[in-house]
Amino acid sequence: MEQIFVKEAEYVEGLVLSLLFSDGKRQQIDFSGFFKNHPHPQYNKYAKESEFKKFWLRNGNVMWGKHADLNFPINALYAGNLELCCDDDWE
C-alpha cells in the first residue's frame, strides 16, 4: 500500500486549511474545534489566526512552530477527523 502524505496545504480562512494528499484527495479541515476541545498551554497560541497561518510542510505533514511544536497524524488529517489523534491523556 502506498504511503499517504500531504502534498500541498493552503490557508482558507479562520482556522481552516485545504490539504491535498499524495493520492489526489483534497480535504478541507477546520481546526477550531480541536483547539476548543483540547486546550493546551503549549499549543493555544496556534488557535490565533495570525499564528495558525504560519504552518509549514515537512516530510508530508503540516506543522506549526519553529521546532514542529504542533502536528497531527496523517490518518486524522486524511479522515478530516482531528479527534483521531486525541486520547484521554491529551490535557
Domain with residue 33: its CATH number is 3.30.2020
What three-state secondary structure class fits 66?
coil
* pTM, two decimal places: 0.88
What three-state secondary structure class fits 82?
helix
pLDDT of residue 33: 92
Residue ranges with strand state E in the chain: 6-13, 16-21, 26-30, 56-58, 61-64, 70-71
pLDDT of residue 89: 45
Q: Which grid coordinates are listed for 12? A: 482558507
Its domain, for residue 16, covers: 6-85
40 within 8 A of 87, measured Cβ to Cβ: no
How many domains would you assign to the chain?
1
78 within 8 A of 27, measured Cβ to Cβ: yes
Q: Is residue 51 part of a domain?
A: yes
Per-10-residue mean pLDDT, the chain, length 91? 92 98 97 91 93 96 93 93 68 40
pLDDT of residue 90: 39
Q: Is residue 1 part of a domain?
A: no
In whole angstroms, what is the distance from residue 9 CA to residue 61 CA?
9
